[in-house]
């Protein structure tokens, strides 16, 4: 097995996850009185993040009526902070070689059945061309952890994506790097760097990640986002893989991580992800920690209430009906038209209509929502959401602390809604099926009419005309 170079740990790394402390906070917070739960809901509606001990109170509430109040509050909060837009993206798997042996993953080194490969420049261009044909503008590139996929390789892959055409934002999901590695990615102009801690519970972490592997080093991973901050990347995504341990503990881990990053770097994570374990080649699950649908919905609502300004991503791992449900009370980003097979986008034929099932010998896990991008866009419109392909914030430098400054006074809606509408118009002109174009144009007319500020409304109206009548593209504020 090829070896990774030695680690350069950060001198400031801190283990802020106290397992026993989290367990006892959760136990103390069980079935708190209704007044307290309502006070916390009210605090969240004031757009104040909850402390982990306060999140524990929401997690410990088993009263169905109060849970309904949490769902209603999460809906309201989502509407006030994010409006009715949903950002769309697609994952692009670049390489599935991996030196780690995570027991839950189809790419683990001991999976001899997996077909291993990586996409070099030409192959990346081919995938990106297929993704652009669908209408995507925002991708997340994904890598296994392998000496062949060092930071330079990742940076080159990101550059290949940008060079291939009109993808406007490239995020990365990969194993954490050292500071020098992150700097290479920053130079390649990545958007968000995403690292999921998988499980915050130390003992479980040790049992699913083989000792002696890079991934087996809990602290190296936990400190990964902080090293990225130190390297100047202030747009970070965190996440946990639900189904390895108690879901309430993992929610506590995520909010503790968000609180830690805010304390240490002055900015919380840009996004939180909460994938549930899916079937993968040769993987046997312990059903003990399986997260049921009702619990999954609760965890999404509680996360929404706990971190009002953090974007929340629900991927195509979840089936369509679950994704459609959580859209209303927490989620700000979804992927669509997803194909996890390496090289799968260019092999799938007419990407606007075909629904894909990944082949498990080439994909990391099974997906639950196989709708094409066009089908997802049509579905969002039908449910009253504006599909957004906006990439403006990071291109205008609204990231990290600056992003928070914009988000807190509610400016996001003034910037995001116009950008959502104009990027959606581009999609309708260039890529939509006739039915989606018709319903989308109706939505745009309604959304334009709803813009309260006369100047903003006039500006958006002018831009829509430029896009429709003069073929102008990429107009953003």
Q: Which among 269, 275, 276, 313 has a CA at the least distance from the CA of 90?
A: 313
Min CB(174)–ligand SF4 separation in Å:
8
* Structure tokens belonging to residue 16: 């802020």
> Between residue 169 and residue 208, which ones bind ligand SF4 under the rule CB under 6 A?
175
The size of the interface with ligand SF4 (CB under 6 A), counted in residues, is 10
Question: Greatest CA separation found in the chain?
Answer: 63
Contact 364, 93 (CB under 8 A): yes
Which of 67, 84, 100, 399 is the binder for ligand SF4 (CB under 6 A)? 100
| 304 touches, from ligand SF4, ligand SAM, none (C-beta below 5 to 8 Å by class) | none
Helical pair 52-59 and 293-306, crossing angle rounded to 10 deg: 150
The whole-angstrom separation of Cα 448 and Cα 443 is 8
Among 71, 107, 247, 274, binds ligand SF4 (CB under 6 A): 107
Question: Residue 406 touches which of ligand SF4, ligand SAM, none (CB < 5 to 8 A by kind)?
Answer: none
Residues that bind ligand SAM (CB under 6 A): 104-105, 142-145, 173-175, 195-196, 198, 241, 275, 277-278, 280, 283, 317, 364-365
Alpha carbons 254 and 143: distance in angstroms, whole number: 22
Q: Which of 52, 144, 268, 330 binds ligand SF4 (CB under 6 A)?
A: 144
Dist CA 274 CA 237 (whole Å): 11
The CA distances from residue 188 to 155, 191, 313, in Å, are: 6, 9, 24
Instruction: Give φ, ψ of 300 to 5 degrees.
Output: -65, -45
**Nearest-angstrom CA–CA distance, 428 and 458:** 20
Residue 222 found at the interface with ligand SF4 (CB under 6 A) = no
For ligand SAM, give the closer residue by CB, 280 or 322: 280
Which residue lies nearer to ligand SF4 by CB, 167 or 340?
340
Minimum distance of ligand SF4 from residue 298's CB (angstroms): 26
CB of 140 to ligand SF4, least distance (A): 14
Residue 215 touches ligand SF4, criterion: CB under 6 A: yes
Residue 108 or 248 with smaller CB distance to ligand SF4: 108
Residue 447 touches ligand SF4, criterion: CB under 6 A: no
Q: Which is nearer to ligand SAM, 137 or 214 (CB)?
A: 214
Q: Is 105 in the site for ligand SF4 (CB under 6 A)?
A: yes
Q: Is 203 exposed, middle or buried (0-12, 13-18, 19+ CB in 10 A)?
A: exposed
Whichever of 16 and 196 has its CB closer to ligand SF4, that residue is 196
- In the complex, minimum distance from the CB of residue 473 to ligand SF4, in angstroms, rounded to a whole number: 35
Of the candidate residues 32, 61, 88, 102, the single one contacting ligand SF4 (CB under 6 A): 102
* Both tokens assigned to 213: 């592997």
Of 270, 384, 404, 393, the C-alpha closest to 327 is: 384
Instruction: Tell me whether residue 173 or residue 388 sits nearer to ligand SF4 (CB atom).
Output: 173
**Cβ closer to ligand SF4: 1 or 11?**
1
Contact 222, 195 (CB under 8 A): no
Residue 5 backbone zone (phi > 0: left; psi -120 to 50: alpha; other: beta): beta
Q: Which residues of this protein are in contact with ligand SF4, per CB under 6 A?
A: 98, 100, 102, 105, 107-108, 144-145, 175, 215
């Amino acid at each position: 097995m090829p070896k990774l170079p030695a680690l350069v740990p950060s001198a400031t790394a801190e283990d802020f996850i106290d397992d026993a402390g989290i367990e006892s906070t959760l136990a103390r917070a069980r079935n708190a009185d209704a007044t307290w739960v309502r006070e916390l809901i009210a605090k969240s509606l004031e757009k104040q993040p909850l402390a982990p001990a306060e999140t524990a109170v929401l997690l410990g509430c088993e009263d169905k009526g109060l849970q309904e109040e949490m769902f209603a509050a999460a809906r309201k909060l989502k509407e006030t902070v994010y409006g009715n837009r949903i950002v769309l993206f697609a994952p692009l798997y670049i390489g599935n070689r991996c030196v780690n042996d995570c027991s839950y993953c189809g790419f683990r080194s001991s999976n001899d059945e997996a077909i291993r490969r990586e996409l070099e420049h030409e192959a990346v261009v081919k995938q990106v061309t297929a993704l652009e044909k669908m209408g995507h503008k925002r991708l997340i590139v994904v890598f296994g952890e392998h000496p062949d996929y060092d930071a330079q390789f990742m940076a080159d892959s990101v550059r290949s994506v940008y060079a291939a055409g009109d993808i406007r934002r490239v995020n990365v999901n990969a194993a954490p790097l050292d500071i020098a590695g992150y700097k290479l990615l920053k130079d390649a102009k990545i958007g968000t760097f995403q690292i999921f801690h998988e499980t915050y519970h130390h003992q479980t972490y040790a049992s699913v990640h083989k000792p002696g592997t890079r991934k087996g080093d809990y602290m190296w991973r936990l400190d990964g986002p902080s090293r990225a901050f130190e390297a100047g990347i202030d747009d970070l995504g965190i996440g946990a893989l639900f189904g390895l341990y108690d879901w309430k503990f993992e929610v506590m881990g995520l909010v503790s991580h968000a609180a830690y990053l805010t304390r240490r770097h002055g900015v919380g994570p840009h996004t939180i992800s909460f994938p549930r374990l899916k079937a993968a080649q040769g993987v046997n699950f312990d059903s003990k920690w399986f997260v049921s649908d009702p619990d999954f919905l609760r965890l999404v609502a509680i996360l929404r209430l706990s971190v009002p300004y953090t974007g929340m991503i629900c991927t195509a791992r979840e089936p369509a009906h679950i994704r459609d449900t959580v859209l209303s009370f927490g989620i700000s980003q979804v992927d669509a038209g997803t194909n996890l097979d390496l090289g799968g986008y260019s092999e799938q034929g007419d990407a606007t209509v075909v629904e894909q099932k990944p082949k498990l010998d080439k994909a990391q896990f099974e997906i639950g929502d196989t709708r094409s991008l066009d089908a997802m866009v049509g579905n969002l419109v039908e449910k009253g959401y504006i599909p957004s392909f906006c990439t403006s914030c990071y291109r205008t430098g609204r990231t990290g602390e600056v992003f928070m400054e914009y988000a807190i006074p509610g400016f996001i809606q003034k910037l995001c809604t116009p950008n959502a509408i104009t990027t959606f118009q581009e999609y309708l002109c260039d890529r939509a099926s006739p039915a989606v174009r018709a319903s989308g144009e109706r939505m745009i007319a309604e959304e334009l009419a709803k813009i309260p500020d006369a100047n903003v409304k006039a500006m958006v109206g002018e831009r829509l005309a430029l896009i429709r009548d003069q073929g102008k593209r990429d107009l953003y504020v």
